[in-house]
Amino acid sequence: MRLSQYFLPILKETPKEAEIVSHRLMLRAGMIRQQSAGIYSFLPLGKRVLDKVCRIVREEQDRSGALEILMPTIQSADLWRESGRYDDYGKEMLRLNDRHDRDLLYGPTNEEMVTDIFRSYVRSYKDLPLNLYHIQWKFRDEVRPRFGVMRGREFLMKDAYSFDIDQQSARTAYNRMFVAYLRTFQRCGLQAIPMRADTGPIGGDLSHEFIVLASTGESEVFCHRDYLGLQVPGEDIDFHDETQLQDIVTAWTTPYAATDEMHDETAWNAVPDDEKLAARGIEVGHIFYFGTKYSEPMGATVTGPDGRQMPVHMGSYGIGPSRLIAAIIEASHDEAGIVWPKSVAPFDVGIVNMKPGDADCDAACDKLYAECVAAGLDPLLDDEDTRAGAKFATMDLIGLPVQVIVGPRGAKAGEAELKFRATGDRETLPLGDVVRRLSA
Amino acid sequence: MRLSQYFLPILKETPKEAEIVSHRLMLRAGMIRQQSAGIYSFLPLGKRVLDKVCRIVREEQDRSGALEILMPTIQSADLWRESGRYDDYGKEMLRLNDRHDRDLLYGPTNEEMVTDIFRSYVRSYKDLPLNLYHIQWKFRDEVRPRFGVMRGREFLMKDAYSFDIDQQSARTAYNRMFVAYLRTFQRCGLQAIPMRADTGPIGGDLSHEFIVLASTGESEVFCHRDYLGLQVPGEDIDFHDETQLQDIVTAWTTPYAATDEMHDETAWNAVPDDEKLAARGIEVGHIFYFGTKYSEPMGATVTGPDGRQMPVHMGSYGIGPSRLIAAIIEASHDEAGIVWPKSVAPFDVGIVNMKPGDADCDAACDKLYAECVAAGLDPLLDDEDTRAGAKFATMDLIGLPVQVIVGPRGAKAGEAELKFRATGDRETLPLGDVVRRLSA
């Protein structure tokens, strides 16, 4: 993409309404725009990051055996009356009526709807296990939306729902998602720690939140330093191997880790002081096992091996890709702007033409651009006639992993300067070696 | 994907509520499920087709220079009061109130919001042309939703919005989308004919609908037979070449073509009788040029070359990917089920194991499956222990382009039978040649 043909509305001023750094940087970098309280548009740069995050989420859901569907945003109130949550949910639920005055709502989550899908089609235990997920917009009418997409009202959520014949299989389904989440967050460049969590309005008795440590986190968290050294399973993990899955989950749940609301002072005091990590954290995922809480009242049953009808055991598993972007920025930024992990960067490389109109600069930049594309890299070429300071500030702000700076003198000499965003390291290279270095 | 691990809820009965063939087939093939009147879930098979269609739409939008953003579904009523459409829009608009009793609505389209984004950032004619698009769910509260996703209430729409300094540039923007649409529909396996159309509630004075001819179409259309022979521009089309674009648009708008509401009997009578094509059609896209209809009341102006402020000229351009799926099925099916064009088929090939449990069959199918994946093909392997008749009926119903049938005798002899869905042609091939044949 050439900057002259792109829409990248950089803000020079720091927006006053933004209280946290991710919100400030997403506004300044032209990634998002607030349309109403807690409701945002993703501008081109933000949309690119959202796509990258969703792709990682999707790949790891698929790898674990979950199947992608897409449920609508608008749901019938009747479904929620069946589970009893229509009255329970309170004012966070956006309720509405259509032209025929039917009660509808904008889904804050999809347990009821997916249970309805399940009971419409699945009859036998032989069709289990089943895990259906979707990535769809949700709405929760927060009293005081804030922190940008970190706590928006309309937000994107990946929610998965598992269906199993009994508690033990359901536990394996839970473990599959647990492992898929570890992989997902790691691929997004985050270190996320699973912590026992309260189940809240979803219900059930087993639940973990995945928490990213960040000084700007919304809640206090307490965990053992051992987590920092634990290995995340590789791509070769076998999601059919129940023992392997359980071993991983055991390793990741044995050291002490709890959010504020589940914190146990006695257990915490048993952790040696120099192993204690008391910090602030951001929730980036939340998984639940809630047994037959929805299947029983909603009649989602299957015929078991013995011919009897039994309600299925369910779990649900959520990641908010829009919130995840904010968490990544909270965890990875500096004074100059965002520092994207490679996997979610909106472009792989920024090429900076220091003097558009200069024949050497233009030729060198065009050649680098074409070579990047040919090598499968996605470059952003700053071909605009602006001051050097503004060019560098923009590149640092939008946080692409590498910048390739091409000035008239360098171009004449057949050289470019590389700047690595995370470290600030610089290298001068012959133009012909640049793309090989970038692909390394 | 293995069928035993997939969720493909085939219906044996023809659903009574489905009036048109695409609706019937999408329900029977387990692609969609109705959640409320005019509101559907996409099940795994349907989601795959939706993704393929969206990908084609996106690639052609990007190729034409449009930039992808993502606006929210919920909009503030105030924006629509600025354009005057809040009161005009009638009961099709789903209006709602949040907990603070603010007037909101579920966007039926996004002219106002995108104009608001534009005016917030763009100041100079130098930043034009600009075309922003998104693919997002819309809601139109139809009195009588029907025909499945063909006329749903919650539906996916790709809507693009162009901004230009004057009418002539805006016309070029219009032409770009016109050409992108021709390419998009062709890549989806459709022959779509652009027809002069009424502008309706969007406004403006230049508009074309893209109509697919199908006997089940919703409206009567009239066009010159010449359209059937016109060439759709290739990938190498230069979207910066205004003359080339205009020539294509001229070629595609010169022969007579009109929907019922724009039909001109006098012009139609001038078409020789044997060149007349009076048929029924399905609208799959609609493009509009409406000048300053929104930019003027909403103050979306830029500084022109002469330093004066001027309102930008705009157009909007819509394709409904969910509706497009139904149109593809209307245009391509037979008695046995759907016949997917290759480009949008949910899987590239169906491998039918006629006797799961038979060692030769299992080995041959597993090998074919692995070879397909290695060759970049996406196979669906029917590894379920069901009757031959049911297997064939399912494969025909879901309409994958090719079936590879592996029975015990063939597997022993090292052979498989290929069946091409569109033609019914069959070939028997050595197992080792199958994937080469499929990739050809």
Residue B13 is predicted with a pLDDT of: 87
Give residue-wise pLDDT tens across range A112-133: 999 999 999 999 999 999 999 9
Can you tell me the mean pLDDT for B331-360?
97
The rounded percent of chain B whose pLDDT value lies above 90 is: 90
Please tell me the distance from the alpha carbon of residue A119 to that of residue A111, in angstroms, as a whole number. Answer: 12
Please tell me the distance from the alpha carbon of residue B165 to that of residue B173, in angstroms, as a whole number. Answer: 11
Give the one of A41, A47, A113 whose C-beta lies nearest to B117's C-beta: A41
Same fold, A3-338 and A349-439: no
Tell whether domain B3-338 is in CATH 3.30.930.10.
yes
Residue A202 is predicted with a pLDDT of: 65
Give residue-wise pLDDT tens across range A327-376: 999 999 999 999 999 999 999 999 999 999 999 999 999 999 999 999 99
Give the one of A41, A47, A120 whose C-beta lies nearest to B33's C-beta: A120
Residue B214 is predicted with a pLDDT of: 86
Q: How confident is the model at residue B219 (pLDDT cuts 50, 70, 90)?
A: confident
Look up residue A235 and give its two tokens.
């791509």
The answer to whether the Cβ–Cβ distance between B41 and A113 falls below 8 Å is yes
Give residue-wise pLDDT tens across range A183-224: 999 999 999 999 988 777 666 778 999 999 988 888 899 999
The answer to whether the Cβ–Cβ distance between B65 and A41 falls below 8 Å is no
Residues in Cβ contact with A43 at an 8 Å cutoff, skipping those fewer than 6 apart = A7, A8, A9, A30, A31, A32, A33, B69, B117
Burial zone of A253 (CB within 10 Å; 0-12 exposed, 13-18 middle, 19+ buried): middle
Q: How confident is the model at residue A293 (pLDDT cuts 50, 70, 90)?
A: very high
According to CATH, the superfamily of the domain at A349-439 is: Anticodon-binding domain (3.40.50.800)
Tell me which chain B residues have a C-beta less than 8 angstroms from the C-beta of A43. 69, 117
Q: What DSSP string describes A5-65?
A: GS-----SSPPTT--SHHHHHHHHTTSEEEEETTEEEEPHHHHHHHHHHHHHHHHHHHHTT
Tell me which chain A residues have a C-beta less than 8 angstroms from the C-beta of B81. none
Give residue-wise pLDDT tens across range B260-304: 888 999 999 999 999 999 999 999 999 999 999 999 999 999 999
Task: Please tell me the distance in Å from A226's CA to the nearest CA on chain B.
Answer: 37
Q: How confident is the model at residue B217 (pLDDT cuts 50, 70, 90)?
A: confident
Indicate the length of chain A as a whole number.
Answer: 440
Burial zone of A191 (CB within 10 Å; 0-12 exposed, 13-18 middle, 19+ buried): middle
Give residue-wise pLDDT tens across range B220-236: 999 999 999 999 999 99
Res B128 pLDDT > 70:
yes
Tell me which chain B residues have a C-beta less than 8 angstroms from the C-beta of A89. none
Give the one of B47, B99, B116 whose C-beta lies nearest to A70's C-beta: B47
Residues in Cβ contact with B101 at an 8 Å cutoff, skipping those fewer than 6 apart = none
User: How are beta strands B130-139 and B67-68 bridged, if at all?
Assistant: parallel
Tell me which chain A residues have a C-beta less than 8 angstroms from the C-beta of B98. 94, 141, 153
Lowest mean pLDDT among A323-332, B198-207, B404-413: B198-207
Peptide bond into A272 cis (omega under 30): no
Helix (H) or strand (E) holding B204, with range, is none
Tell me which chain B residues have a C-beta less than 8 angstroms from the C-beta of A137. 72-73, 137
Res B202 pLDDT > 70:
no
Spacing of C-alpha B25 from chain mean position: 17
Lowest mean pLDDT among A155-159, B4-8, B29-33, B84-88: B84-88
Return the closest-CA partner of residue B108 out of A99, A124, A134, A301.
A99
Please tell me the distance from the alpha carbon of residue A224 to that of residue A219, in angstroms, as a whole number. Answer: 17
Give the one of A44, A98, A116 whose C-beta lies nearest to B68's C-beta: A44
Res A287 pLDDT > 70:
yes
Look up residue A58 and give its two tokens.
């999707």
CA dihedral for B391, B396, B398, B403, sign (positive or negative): positive
The residue in chain A having the minimum alpha-carbon distance to the alpha carbon of residue B142 is: A99
What angle is formed at CA A135 by the lines to CA A133 and CA A141, rounded to 5 degrees?
115
How much is the mean pLDDT over chain A? 95
Residue B203 is predicted with a pLDDT of: 66
Does residue B224 sit in helix, strand or coil? Answer: strand
- Residue whose pair of structure tokens reads 């029917």 in the numeric block: B382
Res B139 pLDDT > 70:
yes
Tell me which chain A residues have a C-beta less than 8 angstroms from the C-beta of B40. 72
Task: Please tell me the distance in Å from B145's CA to the nearest CA on chain A.
Answer: 12
Give the one of A33, A71, A104 whose C-beta lies nearest to B41's C-beta: A71
Tell me which chain B residues have a C-beta less than 8 angstroms from the C-beta of A52. none
The answer to whether the Cβ–Cβ distance between B73 and A154 falls below 8 Å is yes
Can you tell me the mean pLDDT for B37-48?
98
Can you tell me the mean pLDDT for B352-372?
98
Give the residue extent of every domain in chain A: 3-338, 349-439
Residue B254 is predicted with a pLDDT of: 94
Spacing of C-alpha A413 from chain mean position: 43
Tell me which chain A residues have a C-beta less than 8 angstroms from the C-beta of B33. 117, 120
The residue in chain A having the minimum alpha-carbon distance to the alpha carbon of residue B138 is: A73
Give the one of A42, A72, A139 whose C-beta lies nearest to B39's C-beta: A72
Can you tell me the mean pLDDT for A306-320?
97
pTM as predicted: 0.97
Helix (H) or strand (E) holding A294, with range, is none
Mutation pick from A64, A96, A103, A128 vs chain B, by most beta carbons of B within 10 Å, is A96
Please tell me the distance from the alpha carbon of residue A181 to that of residue A239, in angstroms, as a whole number. Answer: 13
Residue B313 is predicted with a pLDDT of: 97
